[in-house]
Structure 1
Amino acid sequence: MICLGLEGSANKLGVGIVKEDGTILANLRKTFVPPIGEGFLPKETASHHRMFIIKTIKEAFKAAKLGPKDLDLIAYTKGPGMGEPLQSVAVVARMLHQMWKIPIVGVNHCVAHIEMGRIVTGTQNPLVLYVSGGNSQVIAYSLGKYRIFGETIDIAVGNCLDRFARLLDIPNDPSPGFNVEQLALKGTDKLIELPYTVKGMDFSLSGILSSIEKKGLQMLKKKECTRENLCFSIQENVFAMLIEISERAMAHCEINDVLIVGGVGCNQRLQEMMGIMAEERNGSVLGMDQRYCIDNGAMIAYTGILQAKSGSTFKLEETIVTQRFRTDEVDVTWRKN
């Protein structure tokens, strides 16, 4: 089985072509980058996706050395995500489904991250830390579902870092989080105290941004710290929260290996901190690079294959999108308990 996967839940348009054994034949991505100090808005992001999706699909076929006649399945991101970008990609998926008479399936974006991580790293049953622009969750598989053991109660880690970058006029190209990470490497000489809010298995990040607006920017203006110090401090603080709830979930689930997925999962410091904790528990961290951590079409294609092989495809009238589609709503029919 060969599947074309279309991803467009946020600012990254992804097109992937994947075989059922996990072989990635093509994995192309086109990112909408807003100006410094601005975030990406739904209308502008959807316009970007509409502008580039057909061209990117053609480039993916060229990279895979295949054509529409070689496909067995089309998969698209059903949700969660931003409504207009999701819909713009789903419209194309429905069009291709009708033109080429190929089965279609809608995929949960979060579950796709997990399944891509499992196939790329070769792990079977890890604890999953899912950290991206719109979602931050600690997840483990149990009884046919990916169960959420802890999550953010306000904003996601990626959103927090993006908004922090806008406060400091850090560029959006190639991504705010990456630029924060690079600046943090130069600011290790001073750790600034920031709110640390863990509530049981959940955590909160909005207080950190408020503190930086009130205290951090004043310290910066008075030259009591540097942008690099603030980048270092927010990373250390936020990542420490993630490590704490991950370790608690590992102990509860009796799992020693941690798989980090989502765009923020590329961060080398997060992987390093998680690695220290996991090693103390005789475990390991299964990290990935930007090819597979960041939103991509290959993860949608591969998860679409898993769903289709377990008996799940959509009728045309079922090919909807939804902005709210929780990880634990999906029946993981392709995994054994």
Structure 2
Amino acid sequence: MCSFMLVFQIIAKAAMTVVIGFEGSANKIGIGIIRDGEVLSNPRRTYITPPGQGFLPSETARHHRAVILTVLQEALEQAGLKPADVDCVAYTKGPGMGAPLVTVALVARTVAQLWGKPLLGVNHCIGHIEMGRLITHADNPTVLYVSGGNTQVIAYSERRYRIFGETIDIAVGNCLDRFARVIKISNDPSPGYNIEQMAKKGSQYVELPYTVKGMDVSFSGILSYIEEAAHKMLESGQCTAEDLCFSLQETLFSMLVEITERAMAHCGSQEVLIVGGVGCNLRLQEMMGVMCKERGAKLFATDERFCIDNGAMIAQAGWEMFRSGHVTELPDSWITQR
């Protein structure tokens, strides 16, 4: 009996698939390792700029180049694995910022060749979704994907992830980040997080443009309006910076809840999954939770470990693809910003 169990454990262990994922599409560089749905490691570094400044592609890429090998070593050490234990190397193919994407893709290609492992280019958006599904155990949700570069309502239909609604200009995270620069909010740990904390202290709602067009949203008009009004209102004492943060959040998130609910009705869905960096925001989760409760639906969300860009999400999407027989040949291992 003991020998049978030992053989069974050896076979089971041999059948396990280990994928390492490289993510670096924006200002975060992360490397994560997944073994059959188990997160073995997920270290990350963030490029933080001074208040009032964004992050430029070239400077972000320089940051990633400086730390990526250290993060790779951390990922292997935390997982207790050697390169020989890895079955596949996954990397973010896009979308994202060109220079950081190229930096990470080059390292992933090099690692795959040095280790003699197959390579897989992963869609960044699908990485977020698959990570959310893994952590929350959501079955077939309507997905609200909100980050610095993307704002989309997505659902799985007829063997594909399909976009049911999206921003027609800038992403919600980009709107928040750019407003933070206007009133000089710190970028540490992130402008969105600091806006969220300031919004908790706001009490006066300042009316802002509300732009929903069918299943789509527009944020550029709101940003232009609040950028122009912010200094005048603050200098005149009409409101506080906390009031502006509160008002911006309430307006943006109300728009997102509206289009998500419309997509749920269209798909006949009773689950909502929030993914992406802005998905960490507890006020957004609270507002979405109210809508879900009214519909008798379930809300699924994760914390900053898995909402914010990370390597494990690329590893998980890569694991799904690798188990389905996909690989990316070296000549096809390019990147795309779109």
Q: What TM-score do you get using the length of structure 1 for normalisation?
A: 0.95
Instruction: Give the whole-Å Cα distance in 2 for the aligned partners of 1:70 and 1:251.
Output: 45
The two structures, once aligned, show a CA RMSD in angstroms of 0.6
Write out per-residue CA displacement over residues 26-84 of structure 1, whole angstroms, 9 at most, x where no aligned residue.
00110000111000000000001100000110011111111101100000000000000
Structure 1: distance between partners of 2:210 and 2:146? 17
Correspondence list, 1:108-119, <5 A: 108-119=123-134
Which residue in the other structure is 2:269 paired with? Answer: 255
Number of the residue aligned with 1:101: 116
Report the Cα offset of residue 216 of structure 1: 2.7
- The equivalent residue for 1:289 is 303
Q: Deviations over 1:240-282 (max 9, x none)?
A: 0001101111111000110000000000000000000000000
> What's 1:322 paired with?
336
Residue 223 in 1 paired to residue 260 in 2? Answer: no
Secondary structure class of the residue paired with 2:92: strand
What is the Cα deviation at residue 221 of structure 1? 0.9
- Secondary structure at the aligned position of 1:9 is classed as coil
Pair 1:171-2:186 in alignment: yes
Q: Give the length in aligned residue pairs.
A: 322
Superimposed CA distance per residue, residues 82-137 of structure 1 (whole angstroms, 9 cap, x where no aligned partner): 00000000000110111110111000000010000001001110000000000000
- Structure 1 residue 214, shift from structure 2 partner: 2.1
Q: Residue 7 of structure 2 corresponds to which residue in structure 1? A: none
Code of the residue aligned with 1:214 in structure 2: it is E
Alignment of 1:133-282 (within 5 A): 133-187=148-202, 189-282=203-296
Alpha-carbon distance in 2 for matches of 1:176, 1:216: 17
> Aligned partners of 1:217, 1:243: CA distance in 2, in Å?
29
Unaligned runs of 5+ residues in structure 1 are 325-337
Which of structures 1 and 2 has the bigger CA Rg? 2
- Unmatched runs of 5 consecutive residues or more in structure 2: 1-16
Moved runs in structure 1, 4+ residues, more than 3 A?
none
- For residues 209-253 of structure 1, the C-alpha deviation after alignment (integer angstroms, 9 at most, x for no partner) is 111122232111101100000000000000000011011111110
Amino acid at match of 1:8: G
TM-score, structure 2 as length reference: 0.95
In the alignment, what sits opposite 1:55? Answer: 70
Q: Secondary structure at the match of 1:149?
A: strand
Does the residue aligned with 2:42 lie in a helix, a strand or coil?
strand
How much identity, in percent, do the aligned residues show?
A: 61
Hey, what's the Cα distance between the residues in 2 that align with 1:23 and 1:215? 48
